[in-house]
Amino acid sequence: MSDFNAPEDSRWDKKKPKKDGPQFPFGGPPKQGPGNSPLGGWKFTIGYVLILIMGMSLFNYVFLNRVNPTIDFSEFKTKIASGEIKRVELSDSYFTGYTTEARTRPVPLTRRYASQEEAFRTVPINDENFVKFMDEKGVAYYAVSREGSAVLNIIFSWVLPSAFFIFIWRFFIKRLGNMNGNVLSVGQNKAVIVAEGDIATRFKDVAGVDEAKEELVEVVDFLKTPKKYTDIGGKIPKGVLLVGPPGTGKTLLARAVAGEASVSFFRMSGADFVEMFVGVGAARVRDLFKQARDKAPCIIFIDELDAIGKSRITNMAGSNDEREQTLNQLLVEMDGFDATSGLIILAATNRPDVLDPALLRPGRFDRQVLVDRPDLKGREEILKIHSRDVKLSPQVDLAVVSRITSGFSGADLANIVNEAALLAVRSGRKLVEQQDFDEAIEKTVAGLQKKTRVLKPEERRLTAYHETGHALVAALTPNADPVQKISIIPRGFALGYTLQMPVEDRYTVTQSDLLGKIDILLGGRIAEEMITGEYSTGAASDLTKATDIARKMITDYGMSSRFKHVALTSRGVPGGERQEPLFQREYSEATQQYIDEEIAHIVEQRYAAVKATLTEKKELLDKVSAVLLEKETLDEKEFKALLEGAL
């Protein structure tokens, strides 16, 4: 039950990179030569032959020689005399006696016999009376020839074990290859290499960041015509760092640079360098730059640079050797750049404040390009790009959409266009209407509409007064963003919402504007108190936002009576300015007590002022709430009509 602001974080570029060209995830195409083999490049040496023979011998010993133990020949004859042995199998190697008269053949390979009989084996002795002895006892006997099973013996003893070990060998080699080629290739980089000409993205596909594109034009021009710069003695920047919030198009810009320059493109994330093995990250950095120099001119793009580039100075709890070695190797490789080699490194990060100062000095990342959220004109251009393939109704005005999406990133705008198209299909329309864009914006800002959630009459009435309180205070506050919509239809986690959208982009906020935001946030709770005489939990998020604004006014903006023009924010920057903030307080307990008391004083003061205003406008509050209860939703025109008719 609160007003919503435009989301700040998202990703812009939803398109997947083109995969038509050769992409090699293990650092490049496999080298061709006589050493290649189907077993992942392992050489066929005498060592592997010996391993194979030993494995087959072990297999034969364990599986093929599992036979029943032998007994003495005299004991064998005793069992025949006692009638325990009914049948004898005679062979060159063994005499085998069975306790049943049925001729049950042994199961191949295992020599296990049927559970109804027992077998006894003995080594034959040259006894001329043995056959006569068996005739006297009535024992059946027969001879077995081994000549016919020679082929089967070879198959079972050698062919099948060999095939089994080859299968296991190739299976594990393939698994190791999927991880990194083999166990010795963990140091190879994981960059995805896109060949020259396989990147379809161009600068015309990027909008809303015109200043950033102009900065990168020099990079493209140098890669195309380096002689123009070297003749005059100029040097192109070795590294370009793209800085900006998520979803503003940093990765898209890097691809556009590679596409415009028509050079090879190495794409890698900062997290790809770090592994559990110490030294692997540094090895991958060396391998990446070695391959890049071989393919120069080319571009190396490292996304999320802060994963390996965090400052080494502020790590008070102890160093991370693997990350520091990786960073040190990256610094060394960038220092070793030849300015005329045509090798340029691009990197992107959302947190430039945590990067190591050595990365940002001239000679490494010489140029930092800010890729910020688009302005009004930029948002309209982005909407046009993303709606090129969308069938729009002639009544759709993208300028209106760009006006009410202030603060949205490129990724947010791309998502709105897609959501509008999906909503049009869901409604059975062939064209996307303006109402689809409005619903898509509300869905992005406030969440999904909960049509099945049924509120009690008391809750609906309380919600209506709560949202009307927000809207009335917003309408009566100077310089406040106009109310776009009021609704008591649940969306997301809220039972209702008041949607405010700015008319134009604003880059500075005054003290009166901040106090006005606190007033609007408190309007909902005050309206509840005026109707029910008590408080509810519906204003929890409003109070959190109001408290945060008041705290920043005191600690960040120097807007308190005691600490005017003083910033009390904990920075913690020992050893330099570009360091990661330490989460510790840099002021006394007395100052902390003053901050807490001043926050409570500001909020209480604004609460009293807003309550006086709404008490004066009680009749208008009741009227708007009644209409809202009846219609459930009021748009900007309906709300203004109610205000003009009552004032």
Using DSSP, state whether 344 is helix, strand or coil. Answer: strand
Report d(CA 441, CA 447) in Å as an integer.
9
CA distance 92 to 71: 16
Is 604 a catalytic site residue? no
Q: Is 42 exposed, middle or buried, given 0-12, 13-18 or 19+ CB atoms closer than 10 A?
A: middle
Pick from 334, 315, 152: which is nearest to 237 by CA? 334
Contacts of 219 (CB under 8 A, 6+ apart): 236, 237, 240, 257, 261, 344, 346
Of 367, 282, 376, which Cα lies nearest the Cα of 320? 282
Which residues are CB-neighbours of 496 under 8 A, at least 6 positions away? 1, 463, 464, 466, 467, 486, 487, 488, 489, 490
Q: According to the 3-state scheme, what is the secondary structure of 320-342?
A: CHHHHHHHHHHHHHHHCCCCCCC
> Tokens 């596909």 correspond to what residue?
205
> Residue 98 corresponds to which tokens in the numbers above?
């069975």
What does the block give as tokens for 635? 């748009």
In single-letter form, the type of residue at position 612 comes to: A
Residue 383 near residue 401, CB atoms below 8 Å: yes
Percent helix, percent strand, percent coil in the chain, to nearest 5: 50, 10, 40
Q: How many helices (H) and strands (E) does the chain have?
A: 22, 13
Distance of CA 59 to the CA centre of its chain: 46
**Catalytic position from the list 275, 467, 528, 598:** 467
Distance CA 594, CA 564 (A): 13
- The three-class DSSP label of residue 91 is coil
**Do the strands 119-122 and 95-98 form a parallel or antiparallel pair, or are they unpaired?**
antiparallel
* Catalytic residue numbers, as ranges: 467
